[in-house]
Amino acid sequence: MTANERIAEIIADHTGREGPLLPILHDVQTEFGHVSPEAEGQIALALNLSRAEVHGVVSFYHDFREAPDPRPCVELCRAEACQARGVEALVAAAEDAAGSRVRLATVYCLGLCSVGPSARVGERLHARLDADKLVKVIEAAR
């Protein structure tokens, strides 16, 4: 699936909602790590907004990046099964370990629900995390 196709899917997921722009931008940011100028154009067209209006929102909120984040990214699953297995108790240690060097992203399910808490760095999955293991994963992220 191309980025354009995935963005079209995200837009379709929010069609009919009141105020779909922010949720769409959040989903695009989560999926791609940034909201590119191309994505802004595609979203603007779909929502019948001007590109400037979409860009204004992207640049106003600190949550959104206009270019890819060069830092290594650790995706930590905070969906229900991982929550039940204690992921929330690991978040503070993870944030400390990440500091400003590593981007800690929240994701919702990595398909390892029965062996959570789970995280992913690039293509590599990590399961059965406790605070020590997660800190090591974050420190090793390149």
Q: Which residue ranges make up the site for ligand FES (CB under 6 A)?
A: 77, 79-82, 109-113, 116, 118
For ligand FES, the closer of residues 66 and 130 by Cβ is 130
For ligand FES, the closer of residues 37 and 111 by Cβ is 111
Find out whether 13 and 20 touch, Cβ atoms under 8 Å: no
For ligand FES, the closer of residues 28 and 119 by Cβ is 119
Long-range contacts of 21-28 (CB under 8 A, 24+ apart): 21/47, 21/49, 21/54, 21/57, 22/57, 25/54, 25/57, 25/58, 25/61, 25/64, 26/63
Q: Please report how close the Cβ of residue 98 comes to ligand FES at its closest, in angstroms.
A: 18
Q: Please report how close the Cβ of residue 122 comes to ligand FES at its closest, in angstroms.
A: 17
